[in-house]
Amino acid sequence: MNDKVLIVEDEAVLSMQIKYELLQMGYSVTGISDTGEKALASIAIEMPDIVLMDITLKGKLNGIETADLIHKQHNIPIIYMTAHSEKGIIEMAKLTSPYGYLLKPVNIKELQITLDVTLYKSKIDKEKTELTGRLLSMTHQQHIILDNASIGISLIRERKFIWLNSKLAEIFGFTREDLEGQNTRILYPSQEAYEEFGKEAYCKLAKGVVCSEEIEMVRRDGSKLWCKYSGKAINSSDLSIGSIWIIEDITYRKQIEEELKRKNEQLEQINKELKEAALKEYRQRLEKEEMLVQQSKMAAMGEMIRAIAHQWKQPLNILGLIVQEIRDSYEYGELDKTQIDTTVNESLKQIHFMSNTIEDFQNFMKPDKEKQLFSVQKAVGEMFSLLSAQMKVNNISYSFTCHIHNKTFPETEECDQECEQCVISSNKNEFKQVILNLLTNSKDAILDRREKGLMKKTDEGNIMIDLYDDYDKIIIEQSDNGGGIPQEHILKVFDTYFTTKGTGKGSGIGLYMSKVIIEQHMGGSIHASNGEYGAVFTVKLPKRYF
């Protein structure tokens, strides 16, 4: 499109000639005005790209006044075209920022160059104006953004606030005006903190890296707060230009962190306490267990001593009788060699029996921690012999039948064969302790039943042990006619300190320890039930348990 030119000239011939020349040059002409007023009216209708202006015009306004109005209203480039070359007029024209000043008579060549240059310059000027406008509007937008950001933003130079957003001022309880131009020192809790942060921060800024720190600051009212600072120099090689700082109030986060830290510490403490409590509990349990083992041993020892007392009574009676008989027969003159021999032999037999009993007891009390191979049949038999006198005194008969060998004790006496089928590997005395406990319980149940009148005093008590072979297990079944265990107690008989015997009679440890020995030490099982006449205890032991 052709660039449009408005000609403002009161000399008609000249204006026609210029119009002609302009058209020749390729411009279009929006009009020719001979007064300033007409020129302004023409511009209002059709905006020219350039105005060629004469200074001397017909109307009230001269060319300079008209140009001034156009310049103010429309920013259209103006080229003066005049015969005036006086200094005063030129000075006046200069104030209207004309693009060119041509002297009449107009040289066409000169006009063309001036028009070209003017158009180019005005185009550049327009672009510049537009860019400036855009820049201003962008700056304005950014200011709005920065000002409304929810984090504090500032430009700091020489540790002074050059610019800051409202949020930053708000964080510290100030207004923007309060802080602008202020030294940042007022936000630090102490001179030391101010100097220390300065050293550290400026060192990083000089390297061109982001300086990020969390430090404690003070508000206007003196209250403390935690801030996160992120700063970067605008130009790291010239720190005097300043640096941009982003500041966040992280007091709440810090509080949560502190809280979390405290909670973690509490949790750790609780964990520690729990661990200690568990350990203590564990130790106490071990101690209690150890104590129970000792108590059960003492109880077993008591039973053994009771058994020995019974066992020894008869041989002691016999020995007493024999000794007195020597004197008696001497007094009656009957003592001879034969009688002495008989007496000595009989005495030795009794002494031997007593020493066997004591040996059994010693063996039983021997602390044998190691496992050994032994015959279940023999161990049960030994326990029965030790208790035989006590059973007899209490009018209790007992029988021990080994169904593996079809033998019944005591008729066949002790079974000395260490037969394969009933050999197990374990702690023999612990096993005997279990048998002793079961037999003692049966005896006590029978005596209790007699005492309560549920059974006649003269009624014979019965205790039976049956030994069976069951593939890879040995089954020991012990039964009596003691009336059995009340159904509500049957599940509790193996509990610690549970006893149905009267005060001072039972400790409630025997069966508990029996269960521990059978299950934990021997890998077997023990079970209580009620038979026709009394309790039945079934012990199952794995053969050759290792």
Partner 1 sequence: MVTAENVSDKSGWKALFGDELKKNTSILCVEDEAIILEGLKIVLRRRFNKVYTATNGKEGIELFNNNKIDIVITDILMPIMDGLEMASKIKKSSPDTPILILSALNEEPFLKKAAALGLYDYIAKPYCDDDFFEILYRAAFEVHKRKNMAYAASAGIEIAELL
- Cα separation values, 248 from 167, 168, 195, 258, Å: 9, 8, 20, 18
Cα separation, 261 vs 223, whole angstroms = 23
Binding letters toward partner 1, positions 441-460, x by CB under 8 A: -----------------x--
The window from 79-87, 108-116, 367-375, 390-398 that contacts partner 1 (CB under 8 A) reads: 390-398
Residue with structure tokens 């309060």? 178
Peptide bond into 410 cis (omega under 30): yes
Least Å distance, CB 414 to partner 1, is: 21
Candidates 515, 422, 508; CA nearest to 469 is 422
Least Å distance, CB 447 to partner 1, is: 12
DSSP code, position 371: -
The nearer residue to partner 1, 367 or 453, going by C-beta atoms, is 453
Least Å distance, CB 435 to partner 1, is: 23
Contact predicate 421/485, CB 8 Å: no
DSSP code, position 505: T
Q: Please, how many CA atoms are within 13 Å of residue 473, restricted to the half-sphere of its CB?
A: 14
The nearer residue to partner 1, 315 or 381, going by C-beta atoms, is 315
Residues 6+ positions from 45 with CB-CB distance below 8 Å: none
Q: Which of 128, 288, 313, 403 binds partner 1 (CB under 8 A)?
A: 313
Contact predicate 217/187, CB 8 Å: yes
The window from 27-35, 126-134, 306-314, 364-372 that contacts partner 1 (CB under 8 A) reads: 306-314
Q: Which of 314, 425, 496, 530 binds partner 1 (CB under 8 A)?
A: 314
Least Å distance, CB 348 to partner 1, is: 14
- Strands in 211-218's sheet, in edge-to-edge order, are 160-164, 152-157, 243-249, 224-233, 211-218
The window from 54-62, 391-399, 497-505, 513-521 that contacts partner 1 (CB under 8 A) reads: 391-399
Assess 318 for contact with partner 1 (CB under 8 A).
yes
The nearer residue to partner 1, 263 or 313, going by C-beta atoms, is 313
Binding letters toward partner 1, positions 345-374, x by CB under 8 A: -x----------------------------
- Cα separation values, 140 from 143, 148, 162, 164, 464, Å: 5, 12, 17, 15, 109
Least Å distance, CB 392 to partner 1, is: 8
Residue with structure tokens 């079970």? 527
How many residues bind partner 1 (CB under 8 A)? The answer is: 22
Assess 399 for contact with partner 1 (CB under 8 A).
no
Neighbour count for residue 373 (Cβ, 10 Å): 11
Q: Burial level of 296, CB count in 10 A (0-12/13-18/19+)?
A: buried
Residues 6+ positions from 464 with CB-CB distance below 8 Å: 398, 399, 400, 401, 478, 479, 480
Assess 332 for contact with partner 1 (CB under 8 A).
yes
Q: Which of 317, 355, 372, 529 binds partner 1 (CB under 8 A)?
A: 317
Assess 340 for contact with partner 1 (CB under 8 A).
no
Q: Which of 135, 206, 309, 340 binds partner 1 (CB under 8 A)?
A: 309
The window from 205-213, 313-321, 523-531, 535-543 that contacts partner 1 (CB under 8 A) reads: 313-321
Neighbour count for residue 347 (Cβ, 10 Å): 16
Q: Which of 21, 65, 216, 325 binds partner 1 (CB under 8 A)?
A: 325
Least Å distance, CB 311 to partner 1, is: 12
Neighbour count for residue 217 (Cβ, 10 Å): 23
Assess 85 for contact with partner 1 (CB under 8 A).
no
Least Å distance, CB 323 to partner 1, is: 8
The window from 57-65, 114-122, 228-236, 310-318 that contacts partner 1 (CB under 8 A) reads: 310-318
Least Å distance, CB 543 to partner 1, is: 39
Q: Which two tokens stand for residue 193?
A: 């903190």
Residues 262-281 within binding reach of partner 1 (CB under 8 A): none
Report the DSSP pairing between strands 525-530 and 211-218. Answer: unpaired
The nearer residue to partner 1, 166 or 329, going by C-beta atoms, is 329
Assess 395 for contact with partner 1 (CB under 8 A).
yes
The count of residues in the chain is 546
The nearer residue to partner 1, 39 or 391, going by C-beta atoms, is 391
Residues 18-37 within binding reach of partner 1 (CB under 8 A): none
The window from 7-15, 42-50, 132-140, 314-322 that contacts partner 1 (CB under 8 A) reads: 314-322
Cα separation, 122 vs 439, whole angstroms = 127
Contacts with partner 1 by CB under 8 A lie at: 309-310, 313-314, 316-322, 324-325, 328-329, 332, 334, 346, 392-393, 395, 458
